[in-house]
Every structure is written in structure tokens, then in C-alpha cells.
Structure 1
Amino acid sequence: MSRAPRSAAARRSWGEDDTGCTILHVDMDAFFASVELLDRPELRGRPVIVGGQHRGVVSAASYEARAFGVHSAMPVSRARLLCPQGVFLPGRHGRYAEVSREVMAVLAEVTPVMEQVSIDEAFLDVAGAVRRMGSPLTIGRWIRREVRARTGVPASVGVAGTKHVAKLASAHAKPDGLLLVPVEATVPFLHSLPVGALWGVGEKTRAVLERHGLDTVADVAATPLPALHRMLGVAAGQRLHELAWGIDPRRVAPGRVEKSVGTETTFAEDVTDRSVLERVLLDQAHQCGARLRADGMLTATVSIKVRMADFTTLTRSRTLPAPTDLAHDIVTAARELLAGVTIAADGVRLLGVRAERLLSAGAGVQATLDEDPHRARAERAMDGVRARFGSAVLRPASLIDTTRGSAFPGASRDLS
């Protein structure tokens, strides 16, 4: 996506009339890297890269690292070639979640009509807050000021009449800025962008559009609907045509529930030993179970992700006999799924577990007759110990590496 110029004047270039612009998109700038800089201020001004230490992918990069071409989702090996002087840090997802909760608490003071869409971004509909706090533009400025003051991390804010344009505006406001796109400027703003800026246009769709000479949003808007239907299908063609003209009826959906939780481990060396993979699954199941219990959720389906050394990726899933938040139940299903996967001779590069189809633990879900109450109490007691003394102090004995004190030396993890 192209970026707007960085100057303050450019960020105001679409005007100051925020009438009808009640949708705000708040996006934290290079969030994981910003949190690391918050805790390690001596690294400010240096290229900081958060992600797997050896063979994982980049989770976040500071703007100093981005100047070298480093970006999120890039293999860490590639990032090291582009930026050998970079400071590479492992992810600390518990810390990021803590700061995220602080940020979302600030946003919740503005309005209950808030939709958190990831750990570092949210939409707000501030129509009901205008009388109390001032105009949408004033609210956007208040949010940026308060988030910085209370959490120490920067946020960019987009203000517009629709979710789609508000998200684009916040992207153009980065880093650490605010951009208002007035309602009357919506179409000119959109038509100034490349076609890849449209929501839902990934690499494949962009390639199809560009093959037909459609390089900008203006090109899509000018294309007759029947032609877009032939290129992309009726549903996708209709959606892109509407977005190109600023039509986006989606509302901010408060109380959006996370649909899944999971964790993945990328190995420093490809693994062929199934016993090692099963130990990894046990560790991952305990992480998922702890997150479910912390959020008051149960999972009805467990899935695994297996990526071979040649990057062939397989996924398998299984519906559980009854929803659960226990690691024992999650790992039992995960190991049974792994047993059905043929491990290639050159081994496994990445292994992940995901808890899906989440339900509220307070919804009165019927437990199975053979559920062991002692096991449930034991896992909840472990939560309390870890919360007080740290996650490393208590774990199943089979996960302790006596030589290094770590379950899987050299591996990098990604929680989502």
C-alpha cells in the first residue's frame, strides 16, 4: 500500500470537516517493537526486529529496521541479511497482551461501541461520544495523547465515514499520526490509491486486475460491473466496485469474540523424532489451555498445523466430545491428529496447535461424565503459580531440559 507524505501538513490535506466521520481506526505503530523499546529505552534509534531467533518470521520491526527493507512476516534469515546490525529480540507475547489491555482500556473510556480486531488495533464508532468529548477529530487527538501518556507507546488514528476508509487513513497517518478523510473527500482519496489498497485485494486478485490494466482504485471504479464480475466473480466484483466508490455498510461490532487461540513453534533444526514433536504439542496445549482459562473460554475443536522442511503445510482438525479448557484434552486430540500425519524423511520445520470454535465458559456447557475434577483443579492451580512466579517455574516434567532449562532449545514461538 502506498503511503501518504509524512508531514503534518499532508496529514491535514484532506480537510478538517469531520461531519459524518464517526468511525475511528486506532492502530498501534510497530506494536511489538514499540513495547520492546518501552522496556529497553537504550535501544531507541537502533533497528529493532522482533521474531524468531533463527528460522521463524519477523513479527514486528521498528521504523529504523524498515529503512533496511525489513518487514513483518519476512523470514528472520532474510531480515538478518538485509539488516545484520539489527537488534533481534524474541517475542514476549504476555507483555504485549498486557500493554494491549491498557490501550483498549483507554479506548473503552471513549465509547462501548468498540471492535477490537487484533492485539494492536480497534475500530470505534464515536457518534454517541461527540456531545461528551467533542468532535470525532478532537476525540482522535485525545486518544493519541492518552494512549501515549498512559502506556508509553504511539498510536496512529484514522477518522472517516466508513471502516474501510478509516483503516486506510490510519495506515497513511503512520508513524504516530492522525488523518481525517472527510465524507466529501472519500472518493477522491480512494481514487488516489493503488488497487492493492482495497480491502480483500491480495496478491492473486491484484495480479488479475493488473492483467486487465486496472492499476488504481480509480480504474476499478471506472470499470463496468459486468466486466468485474467476469474477472473476479459476482460477489467479489460487486464488493470491490462498492469499496472503490466508498460504499462500506459494515458497522462497528462491539464485543467481538476471539474465534480461536493458538501457538506455533518453528524449530532451529528440522525435527524427525515423533517423541520430540509430542513434547512440543504438550507444551503448546498447556499454553492454549492457560489462555482459554484466562479468557473464560472453552474450545470445541482442536487443530494442528504441520509444516515440513520443504514448506509443504498440512492442517488437521477434530471436534472434541465436549468443550474444554484443559491441556490434557487438547494434547490428547492434537497427538491423535499428529499420529495420522506422515512425517517426511527430512522432518518438520514448524508445528502448531490451535483451539477453535470458542465458547464462553459461563454458558452452561455440559461436561463429559468422565471428566476428572482433580485434573481441572491441578491445571488451575498451575495458572496461579505461574501468574505469581513466572511461566517457567512450573511445567510438566517431560518438558524440562535438564541441560539448558528449556523445553525446546533453539526453537522460536509465535502466539496468536
Structure 2
Amino acid sequence: MSINKQKINPNRQEYGNDPLGVRDTSHYQAEYIQSFVSKWDELISWETRAKSEGSFFIDILKQHGVQKVLDVATGTGFHSIRLLQAGFDVVSADGSPEMLAKAFENARSHGLILRTVQADWRWLNRDIHGKFDAVICLGNSFTHLFSEQDRRKALAEFYAALNHDGILILDQRNYDTILDVGFSSKHIYYYCGENIKAEPEHIDEGLARFKYEFPDSSIYHLNMFPLRKNYTRKLMFEVAFQRIKTYGDFQETYHQNEQDFFIHVAEKSYKNPTLENSTMKYSPTVNTAREYYNSDSADSFYAKMWGGEDIHIGIYESENEPVFDASRRTVETMASHLNLSKDTVVLDIGAGYGGAARYLAQTFGCRVKCLNLSEIQNQRNRQLNEEKNLTSLIEVIDGSFEDIPIDDNSVDFV
């Protein structure tokens, strides 16, 4: 995933004097050394894993009409090879040359030739050309990114590599349960090899250090960032993915603490059926603005530049302060001048993605009506409210301030 020019010992993982202090995206290649990669398929157990996941990924790709797939975390080639066998057009990328070499070897043993590219996710489109119907990032690979900036950059690159109606499929361990409850594993979905231990040696909010012990007594480690499920979903929304569906161990319905892995399926362009039916109810001027805010370019710009949360202006305390902090301070300042309580109803006109409404509802317990003319922004607003369990306090309304569809004298503040 990450490409660097450090000298790597092919037979020994190097973590220095403080293994728990190694929390760096660029350390990825030094972990996947030749001897570890040679045992990776033993850890996975291709036959058992194929049985456990069945046709889950193939079915999802077919449901979305996918033909061209970019596998950005190829590893030793398990999913690239399965998708080629299923008839998909696949490009296989990875940051580890050792992994790509092993994947190419595995493909040849199956009578296939992989098109492989060594690429860093953060600059993916520098090395990968063309557009794809789907990008897949599987095998808990996204967890190798240690900084939020790297995660946002990688997701933006995935987004840019997709056709307008493409999908991203990204999986992760259930770190929420590991952090909050403790580690357990059914050992039947991802790492299916027999007589191999794969368990956390250390876990905190910034590091999950896993230990892998093989039957020949060889031991390897991986340092990873413990992504929480809703945090990952939040990043996807903020990068501008429109609709995200999350599965637990390949199941649509699940109990949060009983799953080993989550699989997120994110759509680049969500076609809202109300869009085609809404044009006639607005004036030409309002509809021009509506079409602009519903466009992919505007939605992507506001989600990335403004974080998909608060208003576009801010009260800055320094010239280098992030716009998110400054705009949130503006909301806090305005709210401080109001006598808000759980009995208060606020109308937020031009609510956008609803950041101000969520702040008011969470902080004061008041009810908020979000009026906004962009159905695309409103869809994400509703999804973010659902994630925060705020749907009982926040109502999102499609509409224009030229004709506000709210009863007179029904709100306390606008």
C-alpha cells in the first residue's frame, strides 16, 4: 500500500527498541517481509475462506453491474483470482512488491495472468490509469493507515478512480468490540488456517499490534490502527460517497459485538428517486441552485473542503486554524446567545449536511427542523443523524425558503 525506499531486511521484521511506538503508515513494507509473505496463504487457507464467504462479493458486484474491478489490496491474490475466474476484468494493485510477486505466482498456478501495479493509495491515480466500476480494499488492509490525513487521501483516490456510478467495497476488523469488550474470534471467515494463532498482543485507541504464531514456532507481528466502524463510515461520507451499507460477517443483519469483520459497500453516486420529481415544484432560480448543490462536483467540494458539517464561514483564532474548527465555533457562538432547551424547536434554513443541527440537538436536547433544497445533502444529513441516534430530534425537510413547508408559529428560533 505505501511505497518507501527504506532498506528492508527480507527475513526479519524491524520495530526498533519500541515496537508499540511504531505507528507510521510508511512502515507497511517492512512488515510484509519475504518469510512472512511465504506463510500468508497458510494463515488465510484459501479453500476454507472461499467456503466461508461464498459468492458474497461476486453477488454484490453483479448486482451493481460491475465489469472492471480495481483490487487495491491484492495481497497474495485471493480475491483478484476469484474475480478473474468469475469473469470480471481485474487490475491488481498493492504497495508490497513481495505480496504482488506472490500473487502473480499464485495466479499462474491457476492458469491466469494478473495485471499487477505497485501503488501507494495516497497517490493511486498517479500509477493507475482509467476508471473502474468497483474498487475493492479487502483483508483488513485499510487499517495500515495511521493518520487521518492518509485515510482521507486514500479514500479520495479510491473515489476518483471510480466511474460516476461505481462502488467501493472496504472491510475491517470489528475493532469496536476488541477495544470495548476484548478480543475473541470465530476463526471461520478471514484467517482460516489451522493451528495458527492470530491475536492482539497490545490494543489501545491508536494501535492494534497483532501477533501471528505459526506451527513451526515462527512469530510475526503487524502494527495497525484500530478503526471503529462508524468512524470509517463517517470518513466515507465526508469524502463524498453517497450511500453506505455495512454488513457483519457477510450478513445484512447482525449483532454489533458478535461479528469478527465489517464490510462496507459505498456508492459513489446515489440516485434519489425524488430528484426527478422535484424540478417542477421550484422556481427557475431556486432550481438552478438546487441542481448545483445536487451535482457531484459541488457535493464533493463541500464534503471535502468543509468536512460535510457546519457553515461556510467561521470565527478564526489563528490564520492556520482548520475551517472545521472555525465554523463550529461560529455555531457555538450563535447558540450561546439563545436560551435553548429540550422544549425548544429550531428551524435551520439551508442546513446542508446538518452539522449545526446535530450540535444543537446533542448539546441542548432541542428539536431541529433542517430545511434544505439539495436532496443529495439531505440524504447524507439523514444518514449522519441516524448514526448519531438523533433522528428523534432532527427532522430533515426537502424544500426552499421561498415556500417553507412548515406551519406558522411552530418554531422558537430560525
**Normalising to structure 1: TM-score of the pair?**
0.29
Higher relative contact order (Cα pairs below 8 Å, separated by 6+ residues): 1
TM-score between both structures, scaled by the size of structure 2: 0.29
